[in-house]
Amino acid sequence: MEAYRIDRFGSVDGIVPRSSDDPRPGLREILMRVRASSLNYRDLMVLKGGGRGPTKLGVVPLSDGAGEVAVVGDEVTRVKVGDKIAGCFHPRWFGGPIRPEYLTDRLGANLDGMLAEYAVLSEEALVHFPSHLSFEEAASLPCAAVTAWVALTGHRSLRRHSRHRRPCSSRRRVIAPPWSCPDP
């Protein structure tokens, strides 16, 4: 497998190409053939040796990517070979309020990311994407989705009539989604 790895922190010059054996999926994991990956600001922070959470040298960079299932590991039930999928930005956060322990594993920082021919993902850390999207479009969604979630919630749960909602405008400007505003 051809992949890029972080050889040193500081800048994009620290990313180097490397060849290795193709990875193999384990229990409840899949091997995704990466068809597109995208770069976001968080990836640049990781390359500089920072960002929130752990980072390590030798990891495949980039958290966001899309592709197709190439191999399924034992006990995988959510996907089959050939399915079009995208990885999830926080691979341990499956729903509900985000907790610090969900942020310890990060694709492209301390777990191999998407700047490779193949990526191994938990079947719980991927999503099918709509057929009308290209691989490139789907690869840009994981970080954008988390950004939107944080913009809406500020890391708090979002509920109708919540006291933690974003302010609404009496002039009906798009500041918050209508379902987060109090009823008139």
User: Would you state the pLDDT for residue 93?
Assistant: 81
- Please tell me the predicted confidence (pLDDT) of residue 170: 37
CATH fold of the domain at 2-153: Quinone Oxidoreductase; Chain A, domain 1 (3.90.180)
Residue 73 is predicted with a pLDDT of 98
Backbone angles phi, psi at 167, to 5 degrees: -65, 145
Classify residue 95 by burial, with Cβ atoms within 10 Å: 0-12, 13-18, 19+: exposed
What is the predicted pLDDT for the residue at 155?
58
Structure tokens at 63: 């958290």
- The reported pLDDT for the residue numbered 101 is 85
Residue 26: closest CA among 121, 95, 96? 121
Residue 71, classed as helix, strand or coil, is: strand
Interacting residues of 86 by C-beta distance below 8 A, sequence separation 6+: 64, 65, 66, 126, 127, 129, 138, 139, 141, 142
Q: Give the type of residue at 7.
A: D
What does pTM read for this prediction? 0.79
| Residue range(s) in the chain whose domain bears CATH number 3.90.180.10 | 2-153
Q: Divide the 184 residues of the chain into consecutive groups of 10 and give the mean pLDDT of each group.
A: 95 94 96 96 88 86 96 98 93 80 88 96 94 95 78 63 44 37 41
